[in-house]
Amino acid sequence: MIRLARFAAASSIVALASLCAATALAQNGYPNKPIRVIVPFAAGSTTDIIARAITDKMSTSLGQPVVIDNRGGASGTIGQQMVATAAPDGYTIMIHSSSHTVSPSTFAKLPFDTVHDFAGITPISSLPNALVISPSKNIKTLQELLAAARAKPGSINYASAGQGSATHLNAEKFRVAAKIEATNIPFKGSGEAVTEVMAGRVDYYFSPIAPVIGQIKDGQLLALAVGSPQRATALPNVPTTAEAGVPGSEFNFWIGMMAPAKTPRDVVNRLHDEVQKALASPEVKERFAKLGADAWTLKPEQFDAYIKDEIKSNAALVKAAGLTPQ
């Protein structure tokens, strides 16, 4: 019994020492080395573009390099696992999209707990998704697309940035609301999806505006609608899907910053404040305006609550769409 008591006491001391060390790390000059930011999608994806816009400014403010590490694959879950198992010291964090709240419903088994293995820092941006199509399809409006889909049920397909990604769920929410049949063609990221739609090999794609704004303005892609509740500032003449005749199809695509669970709270708060500071800078405001992105932040505890709520609502959507977890 004495040995057990001594062992328990020793274990408590070790745990307390680890906690104190983490706290001391937060208090004594954080950061004092480069910070790695896992982006669980390929370079050139929307999440990557937004991440680079914000981390460039954060590097200057923090006095340490904030380095992007692209770890794409499996709709972001490979990168998520890396962050979930990383040391909670503030030197490995993640910038992910709303796919973070989709994967619990679209994957039968995940090697991490989406709620308990991460600490929300803040959303960074909310971006409307644009339903884009190749001009070669000779479809000029959303109603023409719906007519084509209904004329030959099952003949239409759409691209997504991976099975279970936010772009996949956006397209499914639209499909269910529009009462059409359409097949998901998943890719590893937005870059591949955009390329295939531009070539006309895939019919349409609910793309975040950032990677397609140039192609839309150049006439290489046609935006039939945006999936957001309001029109996009970058595409003021493009109607929302609801305005174009498909109510109940609205979808909020966001990009946010998270850390491993148990990251010291003062580190989380410091990173939150640095994101807010970067978003307020003229340089980031200008970059976001060109990308069609709106800045959006929440306090860490508010972001955690938002993520929990969205996981529940996405689970209901996956069930309504008849999707089978893989």
| pLDDT single digits (tens) 131-165 | 999 999 999 999 999 999 999 999 999 999 888 78
234 has pLDDT over 80:
yes
According to DSSP, residue 1 is labeled -
24 has pLDDT over 70:
no
Between the alpha carbon of residue 319 and those of residues 159, 233, 260, the distances in Å are: 20, 32, 29
Give 29's pLDDT tier (boundaries 50, 70, 90): confident
Between the alpha carbon of residue 81 and those of residues 45, 213, 268, 307, the distances in Å are: 19, 31, 19, 17
Which residues pair with residue 240 across a beta bridge?
Answer: 226
285 has pLDDT over 60:
yes
47 has pLDDT over 80:
yes
User: What does the block give as tokens for 14?
Assistant: 């070790």
92 has pLDDT over 70:
yes
Q: How far apart are the first and last CA of the chain?
A: 49
121: amino acid identity, one letter:
I
Burial class (CB in 10 A: 0-12, 13-18, 19+), 324: exposed
Residue range 82-89: mean pLDDT, rounded? 98
- What's residue 324's pLDDT? 86
74: amino acid identity, one letter:
A
27 has pLDDT over 60:
no
List of residues 6+ apart from 136 with CB closer than 8 A: 200
Record: fold of 129-226: D-Maltodextrin-Binding Protein; domain 2 (3.40.190)
d(CA 171, CA 246): 12
Give 8's pLDDT tier (boundaries 50, 70, 90): very low
- What's residue 1's pLDDT? 41
Residue range 100-109: mean pLDDT, rounded? 91
- What's residue 28's pLDDT? 60
- What's residue 278's pLDDT? 97
9 has pLDDT over 50:
no
307 has pLDDT over 90:
yes
Give 15's pLDDT tier (boundaries 50, 70, 90): very low
Lowest mean pLDDT among 167-171, 248-252, 321-325: 321-325
Q: Is the CB of residue 177 less than 8 Å from the CB of residue 188? A: no
Give 292's pLDDT tier (boundaries 50, 70, 90): confident
Fold agreement (32-127+253-321, 129-226): yes
Residue range 162-190: mean pLDDT, rounded? 91
- What's residue 263's pLDDT? 98
Return the CATH number of 32-127+253-321, one of 3.30.200.20, 3.30.70.940, 3.40.50.300, 3.40.190.150: 3.40.190.150
Taking the domains of the chain in order of start, what are their residue ranges?
32-127+253-321, 129-226
Residue range 26-38: mean pLDDT, rounded? 86
- What's residue 290's pLDDT? 86
- What's residue 18's pLDDT? 42
Residue range 183-203: mean pLDDT, rounded? 93
Query: How many CB atoms are closer than 10 A to CB 227?
Result: 26
According to DSSP, residue 264 is labeled -
Residue range 75-90: mean pLDDT, rounded? 96
215 has pLDDT over 60:
yes
List of residues 6+ apart from 180 with CB closer than 8 A: 146, 149, 150, 153, 156
- The HSE-up count of residue 110 (CA atoms within 13 Å, CB side) is 27
Beginning with the edge strand found earlier in the chain, give each strand of the sheet holding 157-160 in spatial order.
Answer: 183-186, 157-160, 204-208, 129-133, 222-226
Give 291's pLDDT tier (boundaries 50, 70, 90): confident
The overall average pLDDT reported for the chain is 90
Q: Is the CB of residue 193 less than 8 Å from the CB of residue 202? A: yes
172 has pLDDT over 50:
yes
Residue range 185-203: mean pLDDT, rounded? 93
Between the alpha carbon of residue 218 and those of residues 134, 191, 198, 231, the distances in Å are: 12, 17, 12, 20
166 has pLDDT over 70:
yes
35-39 vs 253-260, strand pairing mode: unpaired
